[in-house]
Structure 1
Amino acid sequence: MLFCLATALSRSHPFGPVTRNVVDLGQQYLPYHAYWRSFLRGETHGDAFLNWNSGFGANFLGDVGTYLSSPVDLLVVFFPADRIELALYVVTAVKITAAGAAMAALLLRLRPGPWPVAAALGTAYALSGWTFNFGSTVPMWLDGLAAFPLLCLVGEWARTGRRPVLGPLVVALAWIANFYTAYMATLGAAVVLAVRLLTAEETATVRRRLAGALRAARSVLVGVGLAAPLVAVVFLGTKTADPTPEVTFAPAAWTDVLARFLPATASTASPALFIGTPALLLALTLPFNRAVAPRVRAALTAAVVLVTLSLQWEPTHLLWHAGASPNGVPYRQAFVLCGLLLIAAWFSVAGGVPRPAALLAGGALLGGLAWAARGSVDIDRWTFPASGAAVLLALIAALLALAAARREPSGAVGGNHRDSTGTAPEAPTGDNRENSTATARQDSARTALKAPARPARLLPVLAVLLLVAAQAGEAAVTGKRIEEQQRAEVAWSPRTGPWHEAAAREVARADAWPRHRTDPGEVPGGNDVLLVGGQGADHYSSLTSETTSRTLVSLGFGAYAKGRHPVTLDNPVTDALFSVGTRMRSEPAEPVRQDAPPRATVTATTVPVPPLVTVRPSARPAGPSGDSAFARQERLLGASVYELPAPRRTGRALAAHCPAGSEVWFWAPEYRGTATLAGQRPVRFDGKPPAVSAAMGALGTVPASGEVRIALDPEGRARLPREPVGCLVRARLDTAVDRLTATGATRVRTTGHTVTAALPPGSTGVAVLAVPRISGWSCAAGDADLRPARAYEGLVAVPLDGRADTVHCSFRPPGLRLGGAVGAAALLALAATGVLHRRRSRG
């Protein structure tokens, strides 16, 4: 509810007109969930192995494991296609709710205490600054948010020798849902387990503690093994993905780190650590709370301090991120520290409100933190007012609770009862005595609550209500301000609307797969083909293959996200190369806005193109030499269709001579600015290496004089390649298309991840499938056995000897076989564990 309130206060969809689709939420997660819905309903051409829509053919199982494998993501199937934004919002809200519930359950398992306070602290965890700043816009990371408390519960079960089968299943679920953040959550759970092994049982022997640690390790190993069929595919997918530039970790200024503990702060360069000022105050009282056993205070305080320091030290930063410093947000593991802080807060308050001395000491630390953070650039105008109001409400709540404790008999809930360990005592052989002790305390508390007068019984209730109000108010303000700051400072995509619906209708009407591809063209957002259907180059994924990215960019396609987001190219040569027979073009009705769905008129144009499988006379492409995109297109096409002049550059102008009536194309991947052919309108190019490669663009038609004059208006230094201009002669292209069509496949049939093509009898040379040759493709000619496919200028190729009149290609995600073997072994280990545990229980 609080998450929804924050969304409503920021006027964001679905409670307002403004888009929530900032950065990857609009460009990756929304399109992937739209495609996931279509896939689950059987409305796609591909299957779980291969996505025919994106990147001219992409490894879908890897993307499932990266973005879509959480059980909560299945909810999208219950929403109509035009409500996919609402579906993703519900998925996000459910994940946040699950994380809060899991944390509340963990707190009550770690130490008995008042459940309303545990619920409030669980909510504080679910609605931390990390959730608002990162998790709500990267929904797959929210699975790690829920995984951390669940994995801590697995650690508790292992420590006490309980649930040896359920534990690995929970680990497997966490790693399947999102193995990236599950890895971080597993490290965090190991820290909590270490604290518990050192503090939970004062009389436990070293042998017993070691046994608990080994049981936990077994649960993790078996659980990760069960998840291996998916994890292995994702892991190997990252190895073949287009590499991003190496990042050197630079720790944030400590002033900014401290500021992020406060409300209404947002940044991608510092860790999001806000958990609510009242919860933070309770955590800061732990070192001074004499009602908690000294070793518990020392161990938990040390854990919080060490984890905080680990965020800022490069070796531990790399450990948290599995050895590679990430591009973008460098503090993705911060949710673990938020969880540790709330565990510390719970241990300090579970036995009752800390004494005034502890509250004063914690308040002094909080005041010092706020004072030290006052100069941070992350401080918002709402930060200190929201924090001050929360402190005031928390102070009143503490006074009410202390007053109630003085009026209640010893042992009542809200009092400061202390035991020797800081937790409920445990029997050496398990949790039976712990549970009975907790039950006795709760019975005692219920008895004690009957004794005081009615006003005294209301004081604890009022205290909890004020605590909840303080936490809720800060969370709502923080969520509101973070959403507003993100919309103002980072890239955004508009809401889905009439433009997308019109494109989807046109694509459905014109779709002729596999006779030829239908490209939806440019649609606002990203991953357009996942949103509206069709089969195009557009593909934005962390697993976008290096082969796909390099092949397409080398042919003149544009790309964002340092190469991991190739986009469509409206060029007749590349349309012929990739069998794009129908292309959509959109004319926007108005500029794209944050507060309104986009509208446009969408038209479809169909032209003759070669089939999906063509035959080339040789395994070595023929065509002109050179490294320009024009030369590469011609080599792949097998014909010279461009005139490639050597333009003369004079200042900010290019001059050349081309055949009259030919089409002038400008190619400069690093160029940012406009290029204008004399007498035509300016064309915008947005190159910004290494993040963005500009696509080649059409400038206009060569006049009868044959003179080509291009005016450049660069933003910054104008870096141009050696051959930036190509003049396309359409008659030559038509001849090349006719030749490839005549010698190409007479019939093409596709299934979810296979292609079968019938060829003219006696075909020799090489059959070329218009799909990037990513890892996983195997092909054969005729009845031969499948073998790893060869490459022809980056595309899938099959050698022909004149005897076969068919070719067959199949795709299997790399790592699937290895992951399946590991998963089967883990399943046997789990079964053996269950059998042994059952025998011991009976014995």
Structure 2
Amino acid sequence: MGTLAPEPTTVDARPPAPARLPAPRRSGPFRGPLLALLLTSAAFCTAWVARGTFPFGATGRAVNDQANQYVPFHRGLWDLVHGQAAGDMLFTWRGGFGQQFLSDYHTYLGNPFSWLAVLVPRAHVDLAVFAITPITMGTAAALMTVYLGRLHPGPWWQRGVLGAAYGLCGWALSDGSYIPMWLWGLVALPMLGIAVEWCLEGRRWPGVALLVALAWFGNFYTAMMATMAACVLLAIRMATRDMTGAQRLRALWRAATAAGTGLLLTLPLLLPSFLSSGAAQPTRAAAFDPVRIEIFLAGMLPATHLWGGRPRLYVASLGLILAGAFVFNTRIARRTRLVWGAATLLVAASFQFPPTQYVWHGLAVPNGNPYREAFVFSGMLVITAWLALAHRPRPLHLAAVASLLVAATFALRRTDDFGGWTWPAVLGGGALSLLALVLLRLGEKRRYLIPVAATLMIGTVFAESTVAAASADARRARERWAKPIATSNRSIGNHFEAVREVNGWPAYRTDSGAPQTSYNDALALRAEGPQYYSSYLPEVTYRALAPLGYGFKNDGRTFFGADNPVLDAIFSIGARVRPGTAPDTWTASKFPAPPLVTVRTGPYTSPHPADSVYARQENVLGATVYQVPRVTRGGTATEQRYAARCTPGSEAYWSSPALYGTLRAGGTEKRLEDRMTGVTPLGAVPASGKVDVTVSTRTRGADAGNHPLGCLDRPALAKAVRHLTTTGATSVRTGGHTIEATLPPGAAGTAVLAMTDIPGWRCSAPVRSFHGLVSLPLTPGTTKVSCTFTPKGLTPGLAGAALALMALTASTATTLRRRRA
């Protein structure tokens, strides 16, 4: 199992350092990280088994955005790699009627382990996405084990156990476990810690730059937090090491230049993502409201999962006891204890102070859980725990800290949502951890006790973390937003096949229809409808689609489909999939649709009221196809009645984005979910011409508006579709991020492309916005139009990366030349 480290007098007791500081000795270079990786992954997967969670049971695995974003985006990556995507790394035609993809890749697919999804059959991509979690957590634990060895030498298995305690921290189990790209921040922290040590030692400048780049390639959001934590680690290490002022300045210079070079390497992803974020549909993020102090402290107790957006700061009892003993361990230099202890407390305090919280979150108001940087505190706890363990803490100090942990648990037992497994973790895990540490100390003279202590330490961290993971999973599943859902089953498979049967891209689009399996069904099912959910959904897309009657949520960053033939004609949708009559079956239908590029010869203004969704649709279509009758109201605030008259045989449609409840019209009953429900069909208008609608709603002070009803004249729509088809493009070709159309002879007016005018389009003629769509003026004799999409910021980003590569190449060449000399 290894031997105890010889007893030092201080953490950093060294003779005056030369210009190049020696690297600390490391023992067990592979065994410790391997132990940490296996222990972390095994504990997390055992929790899955205990819960009967897919793939070890029938319980759904996908939580919230894992189902709605991460699995669909990984399926889109699979299609991209296997040559079956409608788009490329820069752009996707699937979802939102064509959207940028580079920023989505950087944000949702940046974790390098995401590429594991392309190695399995497409039907099992979701399983690969779930596997990313234990693999990434295990990698983080392994790297923390390496980093601990660089801070101070010691037995490999002790570092491995504490590395696993970091990989299984509360943030990873409760917040990061279902967000594969955020988990890369858990990896980035120890990775950047290693980079800090190289800077202090005056070694491997190119390696430092590459580690910074690797951290930021994975996910810039949590990498930013890890980078800030690395700055804290750098300051701590410079304050606790015996270094001259010149050495500190050189270390700072190396760190700053390497970090800048690493960031420049990521600029082709980072800059477009930053600019896409600025152009995205704004959200209403609430101001940061820190939790009460007792809730904050309760988040430090092991196996505690607090509801909602609350801090999960804990590590296993072993780590907490050792971290507490750190401040009492007189074998560690007083300066070292003071600096590490003060820095750890200041980091925790910064989580509760709004200005510093904004700094942790990139000067933005935290949206969702405001404690997304909690893994930084857990990492510092594990570091101080290792420094305490490496300096052989006294059993009396350990017992005192364990008693304080029990007392704190007792004092916080009535805190809101106090975890049911916290007491067993504190009493059981704490007692076994204390016993293991005492046996380890006794093992200095009785060597046979060391394997017993090692077994206890490994087993306790494994059992306690497994219970914590299972408890977090179970409690989170009881929250409405986090109810796990399936990402693969017979219905989803049949839905996918039904979409494939009618695929006709780019001659026309296919809408995957409703009900949706995820908010990104177009991407997941290889369709080209409006369904799209991304933090980068452009504001111009929202302003183009929302007024036309498409449903949305998340302040407009999530769009849904609408079963409306006018919208189908506008966006060249020529096929749609609907549920079949038998369970888990889907049927597909095809119908005439104009091409993706149509020609408008003159201005058109609908004769209907301008604030009507039906008038807005007609303005984009360029033809009158609706009857918008006057509606009379009756009933009560909760049982609202509406009546109108339309031409018998026409098709009635309804739009009431302010109402939530149930709609009944004739034999039709539909669920209304305010803005999520777009324009919805009511069926054919009866021979009497009377349309009666009743809405049962709990929405206070709201009604259906002035013009909720529109009656579609199908022959008029068919005539408009034929006209747009006849005068539109004779052929359309699409590339990964390009579109080219051949126009009929004599085409004149304006070419309208069925895609939103998002930033980045460059076309063969000046781009103009046509009700939010891309349009090009046609000069006489124009027979072809073409457009190319380039994400904003990509060109300067590539230039910055080229400069960084030149710097890295020059530095590496200089180093090699010096070695040869």
Task: Give the residue type in structure 2 aligned to 1:215.
Answer: R
Instruction: Look up the match of 1:646.
Output: 630
Output the amino acid matched with 1:538. Answer: Q
What letter matches 1:729 in structure 2? D
1:128-139 → structure 2 map (5 Å cutoff):
128-139=169-180
Q: In the TM superposition, what whole-angstrom CA distance separates every residue of 1:703-744 from its partner, at most 9, and x where no partner exists? A: 111111111100232333221111112121111111111111
Contact 2:748 2:779 survives alignment (8 Å):
yes
**Structure 1 vs Structure 2: percent identity of aligned residues?**
40
1:339, CA displacement in angstroms? 0.5
- In structure 2, do the counterparts of structure 1 residues 93 and 619 end up closer, same or farther at CA, with 3 Å as the change threshold? farther
Structural RMSD (CA): 1.6
Partner in structure 1 of residue 473 of structure 2: 483
- Equivalent residues of 1:630, 1:642 under 8 A apart: yes
| Secondary structure of the structure 1 residue equivalent to 2:331 | coil
1:511 maps to which of 503, 506, 512: 503
Q: Distance in 1 between matches of 2:103 and 2:440?
A: 52
Of 482, 488, 513, 1:496 maps to: 488
Q: Is structure 2 residue 213 aligned with structure 1 residue 226?
A: no
Per-residue CA distance 1:384-404 (angstroms, 9 max, x = gap): 122211011112112212222
Residue 313 of structure 1, aligned match among 340, 353, 368: 353
Alignment of 1:422-441 (within 5 A): none
- Residue of structure 1 equivalent to 2:538: 545
Aligned structure 1 segments of 4 or more residues deviating by more than 3 angstroms: 618-625, 835-843
Q: Which amino acid aligns with 1:698?
A: P
Q: Which residue of 1 aligns with 2:656?
A: 668
Give 2:538's aligned amino acid. S
Contact 2:659 2:699 in 1 (8 A): no
SS of equivalent residue, structure 1 residue 457: coil
CA distance in 2, matches of 1:670, 1:5: 46
Tell me the CA shift for residue 624 of structure 1.
4.3
Q: How far off its partner does 1:701 sit?
A: 2.0
Partner letter of residue 804 of structure 1? T
Q: What secondary structure, in the 3-state scheme, does the structure 2 residue paired with 1:600 have?
A: coil
Contact 2:322 2:389 in 1 (8 A): yes
Partner of 1:254: 293
State whether residues 675 and 699 of structure 1, in contact with CA within 8 Å, keep that contact through their aligned partners in structure 2.
no
2:129 is aligned with 1:105 = no
Give the drift of 1:616. 0.9
Find 1:762's aligned residue among 746, 756, 768.
Answer: 746
Shift of 1:308: 0.3
Unaligned runs of 5+ in 1: 408-455, 590-598, 782-786
Alignment correspondent of 2:12: none
**AA paired with 2:492?**
H
> 2:690 corresponds to which residue?
707
Q: 2:715 aligns with which of 727, 731, 734?
A: 731
Measured after TM superposition, the shift of residue 304 of structure 1 is 0.8
Q: 1:284 deviation in Å? A: 1.1
Contact 2:325/2:398 (8 A) holds in 1: yes
* Conservation of the 8 A alpha-carbon contact between 1:397 and 1:467: yes
- Alignment pair present for 1:740 and 2:746: no
Write the letter of the residue equivalent to 1:508.
R
Does 2:276 correspond to 1:237?
yes
Match of 1:327 among 367, 384, 400: 367
Query: Cα 1:623–1:612, aligned 2, differ >3 Å: closer, same or farther?
Result: farther
Distance of 1:641 and 1:113 partners within structure 2: 79
Alignment of 1:196 onto 2:237: yes
Distance apart, 1:542 and its partner CA: 1.1
Contact residue 129 and residue 272 of structure 1 kept, 8 A: yes
Of residues 439, 456, 465 in structure 2, which corresponds to 1:466?
A: 456
- Separation (CA, whole Å) in 2 of partners of 1:20 and 1:63: 23
Structure 1 counterpart SS, 2:787 = strand
Cα offset, 1:363, TM superposition:
2.5
AA at the equivalent of 2:135: V
Aligned 1:208-223 pairs, distance under 5 A: 208-223=247-262
SS of the residue 1:537 aligns to: coil
Q: Which amino acid aligns with 2:554?
A: A
1:516 maps to a residue whose letter is: Y
1:302 corresponding residue in structure 2: 342
Structure-2 separation of matches of 1:719 and 1:403:
76
Separation in 2 of the partners of 1:241 and 1:750?
25
Residue aligning to 2:125? 84
CA distance in 2, matches of 1:693, 1:704: 31
1:622 deviation in Å?
A: 6.0
CA distances 1:444-472 after superposition (whole Å, capped 9, x unpaired)? xxxxxxxxxxxx22211211211122211
Deviations 1:419-463 (A, max 9, x none): xxxxxxxxxxxxxxxxxxxxxxxxxxxxxxxxxxxxx22211211
Whether the 8 Å CA contact 2:188–2:223 is kept in 1: the answer is yes
The TM-score normalised by the length of structure 1 is 0.89
Distance 1:466 1:207 in 2: 46
Distance 1:526 1:461 in 2: 52
Distance, in Å, in 2 between the alignment partners of 1:246 and 1:278 is 37
Q: Letter of the aligned partner of 1:614 in structure 2?
A: T
Once the two structures are overlaid, the 10-residue window that deviates more, 755-764 or 603-612, is 755-764
**Inter-partner Cα distance in structure 1 for 2:146 and 2:410:** 35
Question: Over residues 29-65 of structure 1, what are the superposed CA-to-partner deviations in whole Å (9 max), with x where a residue is unaligned?
Answer: 0111111111111111211111111111010111111
Distance verdict in 2 for CA 1:342–1:719, change over 3 Å: farther
User: Any idea what the Cα deviations from partners look like across 1:330-353, whole Å, max 9, x if unmatched?
Assistant: 11111111111100101110122x
For residues 588 and 488 of structure 1, the distance between their equivalents in structure 2, rounded to whole angstroms, comes to 32
Cα contact 1:268–1:330 (8 A) shared by 2? no
Instruction: Could you tell me which runs of 5 or more consecutive residues in structure 2 were left unpaired when the two chains were aligned.
Output: 1-41
Which whole-Å CA distance do the structure 1 matches of 2:579 and 2:285 have between them? 37
Which residue of structure 1 lines up, in the alignment, with residue 10 of structure 2? none
Q: How far is the alpha carbon of 1:662 from its aligned partner?
A: 1.6
5 Å-filtered alignment, 1:70-219, equals: 70-201=111-242, 204-219=243-258
Please name the residue that 1:524 is paired with. Answer: 517
> What code does the residue aligned with 1:477 have?
V
CA distance in 2: counterparts of 1:395 and 1:187, whole angstroms: 33
1:63-74 pair list within 5 angstroms: 63-74=104-115
Asked whether 1:565 is paired with 2:558, we answer yes
Question: Which TM-score applies when normalising by structure 2?
Answer: 0.92
Equivalents in 2 of 1:29, 1:228: separation in Å?
23
2:447 alignment counterpart = 457
Q: Which moved more, 1:355-364 or 1:506-515?
A: 355-364
Shift of residue 829, structure 1, vs aligned partner: 2.0
Q: Say whether the 8 Å CA contact 1:259–1:265 is kept in structure 2.
A: no
1:822 aligns to what? 800
The equivalent of 2:680 in structure 1 is: 697
Cα drift, residue 670 of structure 1 = 2.2
Query: What are the residue-to-residue correspondences of 1:50-65 with 2, within 5 Å?
Result: 50-65=91-106
Counterparts of 1:332 and 1:494, CA distance in 2: 26
Q: Is the 8 A contact 1:619 1:792 kept in 2?
A: no
Q: Distance in 2 between matches of 1:721 and 1:547?
A: 24
Q: Describe the SS at the equivalent of 2:448.
A: helix
Letter in 1 for 2:524: L
Deviation at 1:382, TM superposition (A): 1.8
User: 1:156 & 1:702 partners in 2: Cα distance?
Assistant: 75
| Whole-angstrom CA distance in 2 between matches of 1:462 and 1:749 | 69
State the one-letter code of the partner of 2:694: A
Question: What's the secondary structure of 2:568's corresponding residue?
Answer: helix
Offset, 1:588: 7.7
**1:100·1:126 contact (CA, 8 Å) conserved in 2?**
yes
Does the aligned pair in 1 maintain the 2:298–2:304 contact within 8 Å?
A: no
Q: Cα offset for 1:495?
A: 3.1
CA distance in 2, matches of 1:829, 1:719: 63
Residue pair 1:581, 1:608 contacting (<8 A) in 2 also: yes
Distance 1:194 1:622 in 2: 66
Hey, what does 1:772 align to over in structure 2? Answer: 756
Q: Structure 2: how far apart are the matches of 1:89 and 1:771?
A: 33
Counterpart of 1:37, as a letter, is W
Change (3 A) 1:567 1:399: same
Which letter maps to 1:761? P
What CA deviation, in whole Å up to 9, does each residue of 1:647-697 have, x standing for no partner?
Answer: 1111210111111112221111121001111x223110112xxxx543121
What letter corresponds to residue 457 of structure 1 in structure 2? R
Structure 2 residue aligned with 1:657 = 645
Q: Higher mean Cα deviation, 308-317 or 697-706?
A: 697-706
C-alpha displacement of 1:802: 2.5
